[in-house]
Amino acid sequence: MIIALFGGDGRAVGTYAAVLVARAAASVGTATTLLRVVGALESRLPRPDSVPDPLRVVELCSDDPSFATDLREETSAVPEKHLVVLDLPPGWTAACPVEVGNCPRIVAVGPSVLEGTIAVSALRETGGVPGPWLLACGASSIRSFDRNIREIAFAQGIDDTVVRVVAHGLPDPRRDYAAATPGGRLAPLSRSAALRVLGAILPGAVEMLRPPAEVRAPTLAGMGEADRRDPQERLRDLADALDAAEGDDYPSAEELAAAPLLEDWEFGMRSVAALVGRVTQHPDFPAGRRVRTSEVYVSDRRTWARTYSRLYRLGRPAGPRPSLQ
């Protein structure tokens, strides 16, 4: 199986999407090749100390004399349960200069309006037939992304039948730092999002690519390795979940199956570190109002504190300098 990914505006977002999809497929035991085509002056991917065993990373320079032969060897006679994710230059979207077969072609689109506009403009070159699929990276919801893309296409006089949007999206590449390279820990929400995207692009592929049930059972039963996310990762995962919850497909069946089960549950309260004091220049309260802030996440314990809601400057303390522990 082969899929080809392109950047809608430059190279970075296409490479981000290709790396994330390839890593997600490898994380469920799929033999995966991430094949990136670069020019002589383009930057290569950072090389981590290790990558997941099922993931193989190959970068071919399009200026090398052996390029066409090497690419043909990598993309011909691909085994049924092997996935090849191509990361191709943006300019190859409409007219790919090499033969890669009749594989799905996907344009990764970043979260800005400009990126969406540039991606839609590229559809003009399809000659009035359905063009490549557009993949949202960082959209607040697929429904709004689809609507915005079609409005841009209408404004540019592009037939609506040419526009095709992948039914699922990827997290914002500006926040998903761990997914940017082949190594490192992949956030659970990023992996789930990428597997949903893969399933939308190649219907039935995810189930076929999964390892046997007995391999997955320990993880689904809550017996996987401990959660070692740092606070930054946890907050990024939360932000991704809030974005995904605006759509109709969160949580997915896979996410629910892998989530811990809470029995005999009820809503309760827990104590968290917060600050109490008189506030000025707050957007919601008059000067001098005594308030209790939301949870404190980080502070230098002298001049500033960052809470769940906002950053605070710290003035004169009420008594001995609080520890904020």
pLDDT one-digit tens code per residue, 14-69: 888 888 888 888 887 778 888 888 887 777 777 655 555 578 888 888 888 888 88
CB under 8 Å to 322, separation ≥6 — which residues?
301
Report the pLDDT averaged over residues 146-163: 85
pLDDT, averaged across the chain: 77
- Alpha carbons within 13 angstroms on the beta-carbon side of residue 85 total 31
Q: Is the pLDDT of residue 266 over 80?
A: no
Asked which of 64-78, 160-174, 179-193 is least confident by mean pLDDT, the reply is 179-193
pLDDT at 113 over 80: yes
- The residue that leads in pLDDT, 161 or 9, is 161
More confident residue, 228 or 307: 307
Percent of the chain with pLDDT over 70: 78
What confidence score (pLDDT) does residue 94 get? 64
Residue labelled with tokens 């809550």:
222
Q: By C-alpha distance, which of 71, 82, 145, 66 is closest to 108?
A: 145
Check residue 227 and give its pLDDT.
60
- The residue ranges of DSSP E strands in the chain, in sequence order, are 2-7, 31-38, 55-61, 82-87, 105-109, 133-136, 276-279, 289-292, 296-299, 304-307, 311-313
Q: State yes or no: pLDDT of 133 exceeds 50.
A: yes
- Reply yes or no on whether the pLDDT at 212 is more than 70: no
CB burial of residue 135 (10 Å; 0-12, 13-18, 19+): buried
Query: Which pLDDT band, with edges at 50, 70 and 90, does 220 fall under?
Result: very low
Residue 184 vs residue 155, higher pLDDT: 155
pTM of the model: 0.64
Q: Residue 208: which pLDDT band, with cuts at 50, 70 and 90? A: low
Residue 295 has pLDDT above 60, yes or no: yes
What is residue 126's predicted lDDT score, i.e. its pLDDT? Answer: 61
